[in-house]
Every structure is written in C-alpha cells, then in structure tokens.
C-alpha cells in the first residue's frame, strides 16, 4: 500500500490537534499503521495521547500497537533540513550560525515548511500506511500549503541572489576576491566581524537552494495528493478562515475532502420543550436552542456551498484530553472514523 497523508488544517484553537489525535487513534484501531505528526509547542498532542515524553522522532504508543506519534520541534527540524540539502561542512557552519536560528525562526512560514518537509520524509520512509499531519498553530489559513514555494522564494529570491551573486560556479571566487576585502574593511571600522559572518551565512544558505527547490516541488506534489480536512467551530473567525481555505486551496491544486465542525451543540436542543417556573432558566435554554439552530443552519449553508462531506463533532465535557477522552470523542462522532479510514 502506498502511504497516504491526511492533513488536518483550520484556524487557531478550533481543535486541529484533538481531531488529528482522534483520527489517528481511529485509524490505528481499524488496523492501519498510523503516525500522527504535530508541531505543537503546547504539547497538546502529547497530552491528548497520554504521551508525556513525545519527541521529534516517531515513537510507538505504549497502549496502541499501530499508533505512532512525533512532535516536531521546528529548530531541530531545520537543522535536519540544512543537513539534508548541503555538504556536511557547510551544514555544520549553517547550523552553528546565530543567523540561521534567527532566519528560520523569523521566516513566517518556518514552522509550516519544517512540518511539511518532515511529514513527507516520514511518508517516504514507508514505515506507516497513514501519516496524519496536524498543522502548526501559526499556520493560519493556507500558509501550510504555500510554505514550500515561500521557502524556495526565500532562498532563491532576488535579494539573496543579488547579495551572493547567484549560484554560478566562480561567483564564490569573485565574492572571496572582491567582496571580502571590502567587508573586512567595514568590519574593522565597526570593530567586529559581523558583516563577514552575515555574508558567509548567506553564501552558505544559498548552497542549499538546489536541494530545497527540488524538495519543495516534491512536497507540493505530495500535498496535492494528500487528503485535507478543514476543522472549524461555528464561530465567525474560524468560519471565515475555513471558507477562505475552501475557496483558495483548489487554486493550489489541493481539494479539501471534508469540513469538520468541532465543539458543536446538540441538535436535539433546537426543538426541546422547556418549561419551568424559573424564567431565567427558560430564557437560558431558549438562547442555547437558538445557538444550536444557528450552528445547524451554518453547517447546512456551508455544505451546500462547497458540496463536501461535513462531519459533526460534539462539544464534550470534560474536554477530550487523554486517550480515554479521544475514544469518547470517536464514540460521539462516528464519522471521524470514516474520515480516518478514507
Ligand atoms: N470536541 C471537543 N469538545 C470539547 N473540547 C474540545 C473539543 N475539541 C477540542 N477541545 C478543546 O479545545 C481546546 C483547543 O483544542 P486543540 O488544541 O486541539 O486546538 P488546535 O486547533 O490544535 O489549537 P492550536 O491552533 O492552538 O494548535 C483544547 O483545550 C481541547 O481540549
Ligand atoms: Mg494544535
């Protein structure tokens, strides 16, 4: 079986990590060897799966034989990426450079690119039949999907090309001969070797271009082949982001397969008969019924507009924060298991 990726995306805080963990659990329980990958500084995946010491390398779940999880840390992913795309000596110099840490943490699509590249590396390892990717919190909207291109543009971009003189052989020689003395002079005036170090860093970064550009194209291809689900709640901001994703992702060749409405109120509330002596209590019920109706209408409008499968995931109390909670979530939302098994 060719391993497949399932990408769980959506606005911040809507329940992407929870849904990714639940879907991963459902897949594993249905017999599919599954890896759930997250970039989650809040360690919610680790908590949700009951894995305290989750690390950057995939580790097997102690209680679920087919479930694996990895929590990427963008900084170490970037070091692995540098080592993958340039000669060892240059990679070590890059990784040791303070500019490398600064550039990778300030590049807006940094976490997204690292997650996408690592996820594809895990897919290529062919050790899992399904890789569920929980998109990073910072990856608002479609950024996860545009990150490979942004990365290629960053390293191959005009500014860096201009500063380093392009990838032609001999340019480095020219740089060494022509630019270095000038930089040395500037550094002498400044009383530091800052400019020379920046220049060295940019030259080194530039050497990763061919590898990164090739890899970015591969990643884009794999993202287009992946199944994508968009998680949202019924709140206006996440809904707006979900609508944007449904509109814009197809332009990138990515077709979302389902919308997942998380933390929904029960539909039974809409027509529930409430009578009682306490007017405040009755009013309270009436408001919740109204909110539940609004959510139902919103889902109906959403599905009719985008004709995708829409999965309803109820609001659980207490929230699903461990393996037993995720199992409860799967019982309450059986369609999540369908999402898991395709
Ligand atoms: N169906 C649910 N019922 C009740 N609580 C839920 C449900 N789904 C998620 N939660 C809770 O909502 C909060 C946010 O969930 P989660 O961390 O999965 O969101 P996220 O989209 O990954 O957030 P971020 O964008 O910060 O990574 C958590 O406290 C989680 O336990
Ligand atoms: Mg998350």
Cα 330 from Cα 112, distance rounded (Å): 28
Q: Which of 14, 18, 71 to mutate to test the pocket of ligand 1 (most atoms within 8 A of CB)?
A: 18
What's the length of the chain? Answer: 342
> What is residue 43's DSSP assignment?
-
At 73, which CATH number? 3.40.50.300
Nearest ligand 1 atom to the CA of 313 is: 1
Measured in degrees and rounded to the nearest 5, phi and psi for residue 116 equal -65, -45
Write out pLDDT tens, residues 206-253.
788 888 888 999 999 999 999 999 999 999 999 999 999 999 999 999
The answer to whether the beta carbons of residues 80 and 208 sit under 8 Å apart is: no
pLDDT at res. 1: 46
248, part of any domain? yes
pLDDT at res. 294: 96
Write out pLDDT tens, residues 313-339.
999 999 998 899 999 999 999 999 999
Q: Residue 136's pLDDT band (boundaries 50, 70, 90)?
A: confident
53 in helix, strand or coil?
Answer: coil
12, part of any domain? yes
For the cut 90, the answer to whether the pLDDT of residue 277 exceeds it is no
For the cut 60, the answer to whether the pLDDT of residue 2 exceeds it is no
121, part of any domain? yes
- Give the predicted TM-score (pTM) of the model: 0.87
257, part of any domain? yes
Cα 36 from Cα 24, distance rounded (Å): 6
Dist. CA 13 → ligand 1 center (Å): 6
195, part of any domain? no
Write out pLDDT tens, residues 219-232.
999 999 999 999 99
Domain span including residue 38: 4-157+209-341
Q: Which of 19, 44, 311 to mutate to test the pocket of ligand 1 (most atoms within 8 A of CB)?
A: 44
Cα 211 from Cα 259, distance rounded (Å): 35
Q: Please state whether beta strands 256-264 and 309-314 pair in parallel, antiparallel, or not at all (unpaired).
A: parallel
For the cut 80, the answer to whether the pLDDT of residue 262 exceeds it is yes
| Cα–chain center distance at 9 | 7
Q: Residue 42's pLDDT band (boundaries 50, 70, 90)?
A: low
Residues contacting 129, CB < 8 A, separation 6+: 1, 3, 4, 32, 33, 34
pLDDT at res. 142: 84
Highest mean pLDDT among 11-20, 45-54, 195-204: 11-20
270 in helix, strand or coil?
Answer: coil
Measured in degrees and rounded to the nearest 5, phi and psi for residue 197 equal -70, -40
Mean pLDDT of 278-302: 93
28, part of any domain? yes
Residues contacting 162, CB < 8 A, separation 6+: none
The answer to whether the beta carbons of residues 146 and 109 sit under 8 Å apart is: yes
312, part of any domain? yes
Dist. CA 320 → ligand 1 center (Å): 8
Write out pLDDT tens, residues 148-160.
888 888 777 665 6
Residues contacting 109, CB < 8 A, separation 6+: 139, 143, 146, 147, 150, 151
Tally of domains in the chain: 1
For the cut 80, the answer to whether the pLDDT of residue 176 exceeds it is no
Residues contacting 29, CB < 8 A, separation 6+: 64, 66
Q: Whose CA is nearest to atom 28 of ligand 1?
A: 15
For the chain, the farthest-separated pair of C-alpha atoms sits apart, in whole angstroms, at 90
Mean pLDDT of 136-149: 80
For the cut 60, the answer to whether the pLDDT of residue 168 exceeds it is no
199, part of any domain? no
Bridge partners (DSSP) of residue 38 are 71, 134
pLDDT at res. 263: 98
* Tokens encoding 214: 């090739």
* Tokens encoding 20: 């990714």
């Amino acid at each position: 079986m060719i391993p497949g990726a399932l990408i769980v995306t959506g606005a911040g805080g809507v329940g992407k990590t929870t849904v990714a963990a639940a879907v991963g659990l459902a897949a594993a329980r249905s017999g599919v060897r599954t890896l759930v990958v997250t970039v989650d500084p809040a360690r919610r995946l680790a908590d949700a799966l009951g894995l305290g010491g989750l690390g950057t390398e995939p580790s097997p779940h102690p209680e679920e034989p087919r479930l694996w999880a990895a929590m990427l840390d963008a900084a170490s992913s970037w070091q692995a990426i540098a080592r993958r795309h340039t000669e060892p000596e240059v990679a070590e110099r890059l990784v040791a450079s303070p500019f490398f840490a600064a550039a990778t943490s300030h590049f807006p699509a940094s976490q997204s690119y690292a997650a996408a590249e690592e996820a594809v590396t895990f897919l290529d390892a062919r050790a899992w039949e399904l890789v569920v990717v929980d998109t990073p919190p910072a990856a608002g909207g479609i950024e996860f999907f545009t990150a490979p291109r942004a990365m290629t543009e960053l390293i191959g971009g005009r500014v860096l090309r201009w500063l380093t003189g392009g990838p032609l052989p001999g340019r480095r020689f020219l740089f060494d001969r022509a630019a270095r003395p000038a930089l040395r002079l500037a550094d002498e005036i400044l009383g530091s070797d800052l400019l020379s170090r920046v220049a060295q860093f940019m030259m080194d970064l530039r050497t990763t271009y061919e590898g990164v550009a090739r890899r970015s194209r591969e990643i884009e291809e794999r993202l287009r082949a992946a199944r994508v689900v968009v998680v949202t709640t019924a709140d206006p901001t996440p809904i707006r982001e979900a609508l944007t994703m449904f509109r814009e992702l197809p332009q990138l060749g990515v077709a979302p397969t389902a919308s997942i409405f998380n933390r929904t109120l029960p539909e039974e509330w809409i027509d529930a008969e409430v009578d009682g002596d306490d007017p405040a209590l009755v009013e309270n019920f009436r408001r919740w019924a109204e909110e539940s109706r609004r959510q139902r209408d919103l889902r109906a409008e959403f599905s009719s507009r985008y004709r995708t499968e829409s999965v309803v995931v109820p609001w659980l109390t207490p929230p699903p924060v461990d393996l037993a909670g995720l199992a409860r979530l799967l019982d309450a939302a059986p369609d999540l298991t369908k999402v898991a098994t395709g």
